[in-house]
Protein backbone atom coordinates (compact mmCIF):
# COMPACT_ATOMS: atom_id res chain seq x y z
CA UNK A 1 0.00 0.00 0.00
CA UNK A 2 1.45 3.35 -1.00
CA UNK A 3 0.06 6.86 -0.98
CA UNK A 4 -0.96 6.51 -4.63
CA UNK A 5 -3.31 3.64 -3.96
CA UNK A 6 -6.98 3.75 -4.65
CA UNK A 7 -9.82 2.22 -2.70
CA UNK A 8 -12.72 0.58 -4.53
CA UNK A 9 -16.00 0.89 -2.66
CA UNK A 10 -18.77 -1.64 -3.26
CA UNK A 11 -22.15 -1.49 -1.55
CA UNK A 12 -25.72 -2.72 -1.62
CA UNK A 13 -27.20 0.72 -1.10
CA UNK A 14 -25.62 3.56 -3.04
CA UNK A 15 -26.46 6.14 -0.34
CA UNK A 16 -23.50 5.01 1.81
CA UNK A 17 -20.90 5.82 -0.84
CA UNK A 18 -20.63 9.59 -0.56
CA UNK A 19 -20.43 9.94 3.26
CA UNK A 20 -17.90 7.07 3.48
CA UNK A 21 -15.83 8.53 0.66
CA UNK A 22 -15.73 11.89 2.43
CA UNK A 23 -14.59 10.36 5.74
CA UNK A 24 -11.89 8.24 4.13
CA UNK A 25 -10.57 11.16 2.10
CA UNK A 26 -10.38 13.34 5.20
CA UNK A 27 -8.68 10.73 7.41
CA UNK A 28 -6.45 8.88 4.94
CA UNK A 29 -6.37 11.08 1.81
CA UNK A 30 -7.38 8.01 -0.17
CA UNK A 31 -8.75 8.17 -3.68
CA UNK A 32 -11.91 6.14 -4.01
CA UNK A 33 -13.73 4.54 -6.92
CA UNK A 34 -17.49 4.09 -6.84
CA UNK A 35 -17.52 0.45 -7.79
CA UNK A 36 -21.20 -0.45 -7.82
CA UNK A 37 -23.57 -2.89 -6.22
CA UNK A 38 -22.29 -6.20 -4.84
CA UNK A 39 -24.69 -8.59 -3.10
CA UNK A 40 -23.77 -11.16 -0.43
CA UNK A 41 -23.46 -14.66 -1.82
CA UNK A 42 -25.85 -17.37 -0.64
CA UNK A 43 -23.02 -19.75 0.23
CA UNK A 44 -21.87 -17.35 2.96
CA UNK A 45 -25.25 -17.53 4.72
CA UNK A 46 -25.45 -19.57 7.91
CA UNK A 47 -29.06 -20.70 8.26
CA UNK A 48 -28.70 -21.69 11.94
CA UNK A 49 -27.35 -18.28 12.91
CA UNK A 50 -29.41 -16.25 10.44
CA UNK A 51 -26.22 -14.33 9.65
CA UNK A 52 -23.55 -14.17 6.97
CA UNK A 53 -20.02 -15.45 7.59
CA UNK A 54 -17.77 -12.37 7.42
CA UNK A 55 -14.67 -14.43 6.57
CA UNK A 56 -16.43 -16.01 3.61
CA UNK A 57 -17.72 -12.64 2.34
CA UNK A 58 -14.30 -11.03 2.74
CA UNK A 59 -12.59 -13.70 0.66
CA UNK A 60 -15.31 -13.33 -1.98
CA UNK A 61 -14.58 -9.59 -2.06
CA UNK A 62 -10.84 -10.18 -2.36
CA UNK A 63 -11.39 -12.59 -5.27
CA UNK A 64 -13.74 -10.22 -7.10
CA UNK A 65 -12.56 -6.70 -6.34
CA UNK A 66 -10.16 -6.39 -9.29
CA UNK A 67 -7.02 -4.36 -8.53
CA UNK A 68 -6.55 -1.95 -5.63
CA UNK A 69 -7.82 -2.37 -2.10
CA UNK A 70 -11.56 -2.53 -1.53
CA UNK A 71 -14.33 -1.89 0.97
CA UNK A 72 -17.67 -3.68 0.73
CA UNK A 73 -20.60 -2.28 2.72
CA UNK A 74 -23.36 -4.85 3.18
CA UNK A 75 -26.80 -4.48 4.76
CA UNK A 76 -26.92 -7.96 6.33
CA UNK A 77 -25.82 -9.07 9.79
CA UNK A 78 -22.37 -10.70 9.75
CA UNK A 79 -20.44 -12.85 12.22
CA UNK A 80 -16.96 -14.09 12.90
CA UNK A 81 -16.47 -17.54 14.44
CA UNK A 82 -16.57 -17.24 18.24
CA UNK A 83 -18.38 -13.90 18.26
CA UNK A 84 -22.09 -13.07 18.22
CA UNK A 85 -21.61 -10.54 15.47
CA UNK A 86 -19.01 -8.16 14.05
CA UNK A 87 -19.35 -4.71 12.54
CA UNK A 88 -16.62 -5.50 10.05
CA UNK A 89 -13.63 -7.60 9.12
CA UNK A 90 -10.45 -6.51 7.37
CA UNK A 91 -7.47 -8.06 5.65
CA UNK A 92 -4.22 -6.08 5.57
CA UNK A 93 -3.36 -4.79 2.10
CA UNK A 94 -6.46 -6.36 0.55
CA UNK A 95 -9.78 -5.05 1.76
CA UNK A 96 -12.55 -5.01 4.32
CA UNK A 97 -16.19 -5.80 4.72
CA UNK A 98 -18.51 -3.61 6.79
CA UNK A 99 -22.06 -4.41 7.89
CA UNK A 100 -24.44 -1.58 8.57
CA UNK A 101 -27.05 -3.94 10.03
CA UNK A 102 -26.35 -2.88 13.64
CA UNK A 103 -25.06 0.61 12.92
CA UNK A 104 -27.99 2.92 13.34
CA UNK A 105 -26.54 6.17 12.03
CA UNK A 106 -24.45 7.30 9.11
CA UNK A 107 -21.87 8.70 11.59
CA UNK A 108 -21.35 5.21 13.01
CA UNK A 109 -21.08 3.69 9.55
CA UNK A 110 -18.43 6.27 8.63
CA UNK A 111 -16.57 5.64 11.90
CA UNK A 112 -16.48 1.88 11.43
CA UNK A 113 -15.41 2.33 7.79
CA UNK A 114 -12.47 4.46 9.00
CA UNK A 115 -11.68 1.71 11.56
CA UNK A 116 -11.72 -1.16 9.03
CA UNK A 117 -9.70 0.77 6.45
CA UNK A 118 -7.19 1.53 9.22
CA UNK A 119 -6.66 -2.24 9.47
CA UNK A 120 -6.37 -2.53 5.68
CA UNK A 121 -3.64 0.12 5.76
CA UNK A 122 -1.79 -1.65 8.58
CA UNK A 123 -3.10 -0.25 11.87
CA UNK A 124 -3.85 -2.53 14.82
CA UNK A 125 -6.31 -2.01 17.65
CA UNK A 126 -5.32 0.93 19.80
CA UNK A 127 -5.75 1.46 23.56
CA UNK A 128 -5.99 5.28 23.25
CA UNK A 129 -9.04 7.41 22.66
CA UNK A 130 -8.98 6.57 18.99
CA UNK A 131 -11.14 5.31 16.14
CA UNK A 132 -8.89 2.21 16.14
CA UNK A 133 -10.10 1.26 19.61
CA UNK A 134 -11.76 -2.17 19.47
CA UNK A 135 -15.53 -1.98 19.78
CA UNK A 136 -17.64 -5.02 20.37
CA UNK A 137 -20.91 -3.25 21.10
CA UNK A 138 -22.92 -0.36 19.76
CA UNK A 139 -22.19 1.62 22.93
CA UNK A 140 -18.43 1.19 22.52
CA UNK A 141 -18.70 2.16 18.86
CA UNK A 142 -20.64 5.29 19.82
CA UNK A 143 -18.23 6.28 22.57
CA UNK A 144 -15.00 6.15 20.63
CA UNK A 145 -13.96 9.19 18.56
CA UNK A 146 -14.13 9.16 14.77
CA UNK A 147 -10.51 10.31 14.47
CA UNK A 148 -7.14 8.61 14.71
CA UNK A 149 -5.07 9.38 17.82
CA UNK A 150 -1.69 11.08 17.33
CA UNK A 151 0.19 7.80 17.61
CA UNK A 152 -1.94 6.10 14.91
CA UNK A 153 -1.62 9.20 12.70
CA UNK A 154 2.17 8.93 12.92
CA UNK A 155 2.07 5.22 12.29
CA UNK A 156 -0.13 5.54 9.22
CA UNK A 157 2.10 8.26 7.84
CA UNK A 158 5.17 6.07 8.30
CA UNK A 159 3.44 3.05 6.78
CA UNK A 160 2.34 5.01 3.74
CA UNK A 161 5.67 6.77 3.27
CA UNK A 162 7.28 3.36 3.54
CA UNK A 163 9.51 4.48 6.38
CA UNK A 164 11.07 1.44 8.06
CA UNK A 165 9.94 1.15 11.68
CA UNK A 166 11.44 -0.69 14.63
ZN1 LIG B 1 -10.85 -3.71 14.51
ZN1 LIG C 1 -4.79 5.14 18.00
Give the domain ranges of the chain. 6-156
Report the pLDDT value the prediction gives residue 3, as an integer from 0 to 100.
Answer: 44
Report the pLDDT value the prediction gives residue 166, as an integer from 0 to 100.
Answer: 60
Å from CA of 138 to ligand 2 middle: 19
- Catalytic status, residue 140: no
Q: Where are the alpha helices (DSSP H) in 89-163?
A: 106-121, 138-143, 150-160
pTM: 0.93
Q: Could you give the 3-state DSSP secondary structure of residue 55?
A: helix
Residue 36 has phi, psi (to 5 degrees) of: 95, 180
Rounded Cα–Cα distance for residues 155 and 165 (Å): 9
Ligand nearest to the CA of 154: 2
Report the pLDDT value the prediction gives residue 160, as an integer from 0 to 100.
Answer: 82
Q: Strands of 51-53's sheet, edge to edge?
A: 45-46, 51-53, 78-79
Å from CA of 28 to ligand 1 middle: 16
Report the pLDDT value the prediction gives residue 44, as an integer from 0 to 100.
Answer: 98
Of 12, 76, 107, 116, catalytic: 116
Report the pLDDT value the prediction gives residue 154, as an integer from 0 to 100.
Answer: 95
30 neighbors 5 (Cβ within 8 angstroms): yes
45 neighbors 17 (Cβ within 8 angstroms): no
pLDDT tens for the chain, residues 1 to 166: 444 579 999 999 999 999 999 999 999 999 999 999 999 999 999 999 999 999 999 999 999 999 899 999 999 999 999 999 999 999 999 999 999 999 999 999 999 999 999 999 999 999 999 999 999 899 999 999 999 999 999 999 988 887 666 6
- Interior/surface letters 38-77, b for 16+ CB within 10 angstroms, e for the rest: bebeeebeeeeeebbbbbbbbbbbbeebeebbbbbbbebb
Does 3.40.390.10 match the CATH number of domain 6-156?
yes
73's enclosing H/E stretch is strand 69-74
Rounded Cα–Cα distance for residues 91 and 116 (Å): 9
Amino acid sequence: MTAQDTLRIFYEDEEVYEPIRRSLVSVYKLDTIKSGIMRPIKSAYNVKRGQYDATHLLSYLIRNKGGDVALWVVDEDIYYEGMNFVFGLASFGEGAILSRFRLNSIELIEKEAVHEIGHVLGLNHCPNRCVMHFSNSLLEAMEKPSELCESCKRRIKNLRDNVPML
